Amino acid sequence: MTTPTVARYACAMSARPVKRSLTLHGHRTSVSLEAAFWDAFRRLASDRGIPLNQLAAEIDDARTGDEGLASAIRVHILGQLQAGHGQKVSGQN
């Protein structure tokens, strides 16, 4: 049985990525994420009471190796879902 959270993110995997600009430590960069990931990313920042750019900078600072920023953001979102923040990230109450 597929839960609403899983169904929503499964649908996102077939969507085309959307490119948006972010500012990390004063430098502009662009990131391409699927719309559902952008929604979850914004929700995580909002839940923490911080700007999206600040959360992106924190994720960027924590990167190691050759992983791209978009991949690091997706992994961060997945980690939050697995840590039990799934209802907030997916918009469920």
CB 40 within 8 A of CB 3: no
Give residue 1's pLDDT: 47
Q: Within the chain, which residues score under 70 in pLDDT?
A: 1-14, 85-93
Contact 15, 36 (CB under 8 A): yes
Domain of residue 38, residue span: 4-90
| Residue 52 one-letter amino acid | L
CATH number at residue 53: 1.10.3990.20
CA-closest candidate to residue 89, choices 27, 1, 2, 9:
9
Count of domains forming the chain: 1
CB 53 within 8 Å of CB 24: yes
